[in-house]
Amino acid sequence: MEMIRFENVYKEYAHNITGLADVSLVINKGGFAFLCGPSGAGKTTIMRLVFSAEKPTSGRIFISEEEITDISLRQVPYLRRHIGMVFQDFRLLTDRTIFDNLNLILLVLGIPSAERKRRCLSVLSQVGLAHRRNAYPLQLSGGEQQRIAIARAIIADPLILLADEPTGNLDPDTSWDILQTLRQINARGTTVVVATHNYGLVRRLHAKLFYLRKGRLLPKEEYPQILYHEGETMEEEVVLPTLESTPPEKSILAKDSVPKAINYQGGFEPPPPPPDAR
């Protein structure tokens, strides 16, 4: 099943600045994909188009096999409830506790109080930070804050997790931990898309790869060698077996299409050590 599909998408900004030019791509349900490329190549633009913060100038976009190219401003919130987002700068509410940061998401979804509490604690223990639930974001380290941001992104059990430079502010070891956490979320069936400059991480995790330059998706033969270990070439997308593979029964744009209760299958395993020292 296709989770994200771009068909000949163009995005142009004012003053003839090209955001994207003729981008077509498909990311399957349960897939894990990297968006790579220099700054300004269009990685963030792709993400913003996926969660409908922007509309394409031309072309068509499908999420979970539903077209979202021209959805109305009213429908946008319902689309976003299926998409978790993680940013380089975490974007947590610094004047709220960790618990309140997570709780807010469930309030937005209209989930009852007892279930909210259960899910907050459950998702916090999955990222290993249940004991910090009453702390404020700025009392945590960068890596911990990013874990909270990830917890927030997955608390509503989204179909897609978008991570825009999630390791941009983190040291290499913490970056690897964060990537492992994303990988585990992916293993449970959530489609994960990571935009990154960190080619070290890309080399270490064999996943589907898109390389952008000046708004264009390069053909695979032209991908820079820096993305691969010596002697390797492009890996095909790895799709891990997933725990939850039921597609949504309703339109993802329906007001009540987000599950009110989720049965998580326990917490995550601790991230494995890096496979090599490079």
Partner 1 sequence: MANTGYFLKEALAGFSRGKAATSSAIAITTFTFLILAVFLLIAHNLRLIIIEAKKEVSIEAYIYEGVANPQYLGKKILDIEGVAGVEYISKEDAEEEFRSSFENDASLLEVLEKNYFPASYRIKLSEEMHSPQGVAEVASKVVALKEVEDVDYMREWLDNLTSTIHIIQVVGLVVGILLGLISIVVIGNAIRLTVLARSERISIMRLVGATSGFVRIPFLIEGLLVGIIGGAMAVGLVYLGCWLLNREALLTISYLPGSYNLALVGSAGLIGVLGAFTAVRKHLKV
Residues lying near partner 1 in the complex (CB under 8 A) are found at 51, 53, 73-74, 77-81, 83, 85, 91-93, 95, 104-105, 107-110, 112, 152, 156
- Name which of 77 and 270 has its Cβ closer to partner 1: 77
Closest CA to 9 of 93, 70, 88: 70
Strand, helix or coil for residue 162 = strand
The answer to whether 187 and 243 have CB atoms below 8 angstroms apart is yes
**At closest approach, how far in Å is the CB of 182 from partner 1?**
18
Taking the C-alpha atoms of residue 62 and residue 147, their distance in angstroms, rounded to an integer, is: 29
Q: What does 167-217 look like in DSSP terms, one character per residue? A: TTTS-HHHHHHHHHHHHHHHHTT-EEEEE-S-HHHHHHS--EEEEEETTEE
- Name which of 53 and 243 has its Cβ closer to partner 1: 53
**At closest approach, how far in Å is the CB of 258 from partner 1?**
8
**At closest approach, how far in Å is the CB of 85 from partner 1?**
6
Helices 142-154 and 98-108 pack at an angle, to 10 degrees, of 20
**At closest approach, how far in Å is the CB of 91 from partner 1?**
6
**At closest approach, how far in Å is the CB of 228 from partner 1?**
34
- Name which of 81 and 188 has its Cβ closer to partner 1: 81
- Name which of 71 and 239 has its Cβ closer to partner 1: 71
Exposed, middle or buried by CB within 10 Å (0-12, 13-18, 19+), for 151? Answer: buried
Give the Å distances, CA to CA, from 110 to 81, 176, 206, 258: 12, 34, 38, 10
**At closest approach, how far in Å is the CB of 234 from partner 1?**
32
**At closest approach, how far in Å is the CB of 194 from partner 1?**
17
Q: How many CA atoms lie within 13 A of 231 on its CB side?
A: 0
CA distance between the termini of the chain = 35
- Name which of 83 and 192 has its Cβ closer to partner 1: 83
- Name which of 34 and 51 has its Cβ closer to partner 1: 51
Strands across the sheet containing 208-213: 83-87, 160-164, 191-195, 32-36, 208-213, 216-217
- Name which of 8 and 94 has its Cβ closer to partner 1: 94
